[in-house]
Amino acid sequence: MQIPTFDDVLAAHERIRPHVHETPVFTSSTFNRLTGAELFFKCENFQKAGVFKARGASNAVFSLSDEQADKGVATHSSGNHGLSLSYAAGRRGIPCTVVMPRTAPEAKKEAVRGYGGTVVECEPSTSSREAVFAEVVASTGAEFVHPYNDPRVIAGQGTCSRELMAQVEGLDAVIAPIGGGGMVSGTCLTLSNIAPEVEIYAAEPKQADDAYRSFKAGHIIADDAPVTVADGLKVPLKDLTWHFVSNHVTDILLAEEQEIIDAMYLIWQRMKIVVEPSSAVTLATIFKNKERFAGKRVGVILTGGNVDLKKLPWM
């Protein structure tokens, strides 16, 4: 296990700067009034590929040797990581293969192809996915980039809170949603180095509370097949992300499904921005834990905006 350092975050930031946005920070007088806190929303929904994962993926792709880059990169993800890796590979002009279940929505496959990636279909089972993915790597020699349990990816995600700390003075806390823990780990890595006094909260759907239960138990507990509207947050912690979560997170807070949907709706309605359900878990948990955040300056990471506009959860 190779644990990334803050120097890796600094190197990542230089490396990816031409390929990602410095996303803006939004405030909302409505949400400040409703929560009693001062909230600073870091809008990664405006990031390239619509999600913070463009940071980690770009860092992984642009740190490859030329020789490795020629062989390309590969991953298995029907979601934001596949999209982000395709984006980053497209920027470097190298091949990217994404193994996706043939049952995945056509729109997601099209999005990967739109950035120049190649979609290879597997059956919707773990065994088929692993077999097809092994075949892809064997035949192409592509470098596997894991969605979060990869030091290059975590260092890349760490650039987000580095920006946030430069954009907003005097934050008391930062909160981010947690699935596999890539964003939270990057946040821990950066803040523990440049602002160790800032509290770090992770927000998780109650129906996919494996990180919460792991945190309380002191070891990784993986959910079997969690069901939540926040579909980016279904994956379990792995050894690298567990390292950061167990050492640096202040607490993990939970939200019910309807609370997540309500918070998402409110963000769209009041802030006029498109965020995906995973992004709304943070605000939902702040509403539930007002006493904890009241009077504090809180950075809230809105992780992404990739959502099917024709199938919204409140419809």
Q: Which of residues 236-265 bind a second copy (CB under 8 A)?
A: 265
Smallest gap from Cβ 310 to a second copy, in A, equals: 7
- The residue (of 24 and 141) whose beta carbon lies closer to a second copy is 24
Told to check if 272 binds a second copy by CB under 8 A, we report yes
In degrees and rounded to multiples of 5, residue 101 shows phi and psi of: -60, 140
Told to check if 275 binds a second copy by CB under 8 A, we report yes
- The residue (of 10 and 312) whose beta carbon lies closer to a second copy is 312
In degrees and rounded to multiples of 5, residue 199 shows phi and psi of: -70, 145
Told to check if 144 binds a second copy by CB under 8 A, we report no
Smallest gap from Cβ 253 to a second copy, in A, equals: 25
Tokens 């907003």 correspond to: 168
Q: By CB under 8 A, name the one of 24, 105, 124, 141 that touches a second copy.
A: 24
Instruction: Candidates 53-61, 68-76, 173-181, 271-279: pick the segment binding a second copy (CB under 8 A).
Output: 271-279
Nearby residues of 67 by Cβ (< 8 Å), 6 or more positions away: none
* C-alpha span between 291 and 43 (Å, rounded): 25
* C-alpha span between 34 and 119 (Å, rounded): 44
Burial of 145 from C-beta contacts in 10 A (0-12 / 13-18 / 19+): buried
Q: Which of residues 38-97 bind a second copy (CB under 8 A)?
A: 45-46, 50
Sheet containing 73-76: order of strands: 118-122, 96-101, 73-76, 143-144
H or E element that contains 127:
helix 126-140
Q: By CB under 8 A, name the one of 74, 83, 235, 274 that touches a second copy.
A: 274
Contact, 190 vs 161, CB < 8 A? yes
Told to check if 269 binds a second copy by CB under 8 A, we report yes
- The residue (of 163 and 210) whose beta carbon lies closer to a second copy is 163
Smallest gap from Cβ 254 to a second copy, in A, equals: 25
Cβ neighbour number for residue 139 with a 10 Å cutoff? 9
Smallest gap from Cβ 26 to a second copy, in A, equals: 8
- The residue (of 1 and 315) whose beta carbon lies closer to a second copy is 315
Smallest gap from Cβ 50 to a second copy, in A, equals: 6
Smallest gap from Cβ 201 to a second copy, in A, equals: 24
- The residue (of 211 and 271) whose beta carbon lies closer to a second copy is 271
157's tokens: 């995600």
Smallest gap from Cβ 313 to a second copy, in A, equals: 11
- Size of the residue set binding a second copy (CB under 8 A): 19
For CA atoms 304, 280, 155, 2, give the dihedral sign.
negative
Beta strand segments in 172-243, E: 173-177, 199-205
Enumerate binding residues for a second copy (CB under 8 A).
24, 26, 45-46, 50, 265, 268-269, 271-275, 305, 309-310, 312, 314-315
